[in-house]
Chain A
Amino acid sequence: MLLLAEQALNGLQYGMMLFLMAAGLTLVFGVMGLINLAHGSLYMIGAFACAAVAAATGSFWLGMAASLAAAAAAGAVVEMAVIRRLYARDHLDQVLATFALILFFSEGTRWVFGSFPLYLTLPSALSGAVTLPGGLQYPVFRLVIIAVGAAVALGLWLLITRTRLGIRIRAGEADREMIGALGVDIARLYTIVFALGAALAGLAGALVGSIQSVQVGMGEPVLILAFVVIVIGGIGSVKGALVGALLVGMTDTLGKALLPGLLATVMDPSSANTIGSALASMMIYILMAVILIARPQGLYGARA
């Protein structure tokens, strides 16, 4: 029972991490109509900025701040220098250009930081484990990730429903020519949205880098899952990204945790693990397929 609870928390933590990635991606896709493959690179930039600043200053908190700042700055620069030229082009051109950005950022990072992974040390306040009600011990930092994800979800909801910027974002989603005609500086709005999405990706990278490792190419596997999340949740919907991310995180973690154990009762551990984890990673895509059959626009998607 405790094992199941711990695995559920693991799934929740994984889902929150995916949400941080998917929220930015879905905003950019929904508002700007842009497919941004380089979102994973922004995740990597956040992680490297955190590792570099934390190593230079000795402060994990400064590193976290740096991850937000560096990813947002990189996002803004990329939007103004490259992405801005792509809005009028079709999706294939966008895919090609942002794929080129992946190569550019990966090689650039390798050039600056080398091929060795970097490792972050957690501050003592966030390291170790706490005992939760019910007697379950769980690492503090993974709880922090869950809390940060929940806070970001709440913050984004407030931003989009309660602020002027949020109204503009929703308006931009609905009809970009009309809000341009009404006098909203659409170029600036797009830069802000893109930088916001980049900052969230950078934050996710720094959080994950703190418990795993910081290395070149760390963003691309996560990016694929983030796309699955926004397809499930509905493109452009932050609420959809949250629900989709939690669904994918739970399905993936519980599938990986439970399937090999179930299969091991009928076959040897090595093949049970191979088949179990293959099935578990397929479950996400099966989930996506089922949801797309029932609701082609995704769970909370506005448009078909």
Chain B
Amino acid sequence: MNLKSVLMGGIAALALAVGAAEAEGVKVGMITTLSGGGAGLGVDTRDGFLLALKQAGDAGAAVELVIEDDQQKPDIAVQIADKMIQSDNVDVLTGIVWSNLAMAVVPAAVAQNRFYLSTNAAPSALAGAGCHPKYFSVSYQNDNLHEAAGAYASEAGIGKIFIMAPNYPAGQDSLAGFKRFFKGEVVNEVYTQVGQTDYAAEIAQIRASGADAVFFFLPGGMGIAFMKQYAESGVGLPLVGPAFSFSQDILPAVGDAALGVKNTAQWSKDLDNAANKAFVEGFQAEYGRLPSLYAAQAYDTANLLLSAMAKADVADADAFAGALNAAEFDSVRGKFRFGPNRHPIQDIYIREVVKEGDVLTNRIIGVAMTDRGDAYADQCQN
């Protein structure tokens, strides 16, 4: 056998192997934030996703995962998405934490016939008229947790409230969602810069506002910086927020200043169901820390993907979309189904920040909304 035929044989074998892998598995591109002030969110997203694949054994091994750091920058996220679609030829994209990045990536990705499964960001622009049959939000629609916080604040008898969020799509969705269900008076509505680290000017406005309470949505490092400075400021008004502002990635850095604060979420680590137990225990065993909301959402996303892979081939896009839409997997949230715009219909809980031993964490104290869909579903025609 001469060298040429050996090479040809090798190439043929490789081609067969590659072909076989493509027929069976699904190639997933994960774009998430692994550096800077938002790194905690992306790391939990990645770890939750990987844990689900690991626990699924052989089925999980059929998922070929490429992970890249978007540095929380839309331009970098777009570059990574282009590379994943054009060179890596992924079937499914996932993992984006921030709605401004999602707006930059998702419409182009689904237009190029890739599935996008959102582990977190779910801007209103993609839930209504901009919905797409290949775009699924496994987390929520952006407004949801804020709507629940608004409903809760009204019920708790808060009359005048100061509301604040970063100026990007999720921040605008946040305040819109809060106001949709809040019946009291909003005394001031402030938008901060994304990635802002100094909140002295906003805290001065809170102090002067005459409000009874403060609602704020500041995910990741923004929330840590605000909470630390708020605790130093001596303002002391009660705080209300979505889970993002008091998530497991934020609490250790904030410390006791967060104790007793009420926040809203569709998941909590004390939800009593078998899937959640396996998730929380598995996560702690694997990574030695408590999982956050972001980890739970990514874990559900991976399990949704695996459930669809068991039923349909990703090459048959319609069948695969149908299998995803059926959402036949054991969610850590207990019950989970998709609404007509492929966003979840689910319960949203009220949680309280408590101390378990030395560890700050959240505990469910009530239900804010039952079987909540979203405000945009009826505008979705696709």
Contact = CB atoms under 8 A, between A and B. Distances in A.
A10 B225 CA distance: 16
A115 B228 contact: no
A116 B40 contact: yes
A274 B167 contact: yes
Contact of A115 (B36, B191, B229, B255): B36
Given A115-B35, A212-B198, A213-B224, A257 B232 contact: no
B146 to A, nearest CB: 15
Contact of B201 (A2, A213, A253): A253
Interface in A1-29: 2-3, 6-7, 10, 13-14
Contacts of B233: 129, 137, 139
Contacts of A7: 201, 204
Contact of B204 (A6, A119, A127, A273): A6
Contacts of A128: 232, 234
A166 interface: no
Contacts of B234: 128-129, 137, 139
Contacts of A14: 198, 200
B221 interface: yes
A265 interface: no
A59 B225 CA distance: 21
Given A6-B207, A115-B35, A269-B191, A213 B232 contact: no
Given A117-B37, A128-B234, A3 B207 contact: yes
B200 A10 contact: yes
A211 interface: yes
B79 interface: no
A14 B234 CA distance: 20
B103 interface: no
B198 A211 contact: yes
B225 A213 contact: yes
Contacts of B228: 119, 211
* Prevailing SS type, chain B contact patch: helix
Interface residues of A, number: 37
Contacts of A137: 207, 233-235
B189 interface: yes
B193 interface: yes
A105 interface: no
A110 B232 contact: no
Contacts of A269: 189-191
Interface string A104-136: 000000100001110101100001110000000
A273 B229 contact: no
Contacts of A13: 200
B379 interface: no
Nearest to A115: B35
A120 B208 CA distance: 28
B197 A212 contact: yes
Contact of B205 (A3, A110, A141, A213): A3
B229 A211 contact: yes
A253 B34 CA distance: 31
A241 B200 CA distance: 23
B76 interface: no
Interface string B178-196: 0000000000011101000
B253 A119 contact: yes
Contacts of A211: 198, 228-229, 232
B360 interface: no
A217 B71 CA distance: 12
A273 B207 contact: no
Nearest to A116: B39
B225 to A, nearest CB: 5
A277 interface: yes
Given A10-B200, A270-B167, A270-B172, A139 B253 contact: no
A260 B253 CA distance: 31
B221 A213 contact: yes
A213 B197 contact: yes
A110 B193 contact: no
Contacts of B229: 139, 211-212
A128 B228 CA distance: 10
Contacts of B207: 2-3, 6, 137
Contacts of A121: 255
A142 interface: yes
Contacts of B235: 137
Interface of B: 34-37, 39-40, 167, 172, 189-191, 193, 197-198, 200-201, 204-205, 207-208, 221, 224-225, 228-229, 232-235, 253, 255
- Kindly list the 6 A-B residue pairs having the minimum CB-CB distance in the complex, ordered from nearest: A129-B234, A115-B35, A3-B208, A273-B191, A212-B197, A6-B204
Given A137-B233, A213-B224, 16 more contacts: A2-B208, A3-B208, A10-B200, A13-B200, A14-B198, A116-B40, A129-B232, A141-B232, A211-B232, A253-B200, A257-B201, A257-B204, A269-B189, A269-B190, A270-B167, A277-B193
26 contacts: A6-B204, A6-B208, A7-B201, A10-B204, A13-B200, A14-B200, A117-B36, A117-B39, A119-B228, A129-B232, A129-B233, A139-B233, A140-B232, A142-B200, A211-B198, A211-B229, A211-B232, A212-B229, A213-B37, A213-B225, A216-B35, A253-B200, A260-B190, A273-B167, A273-B191, A274-B191
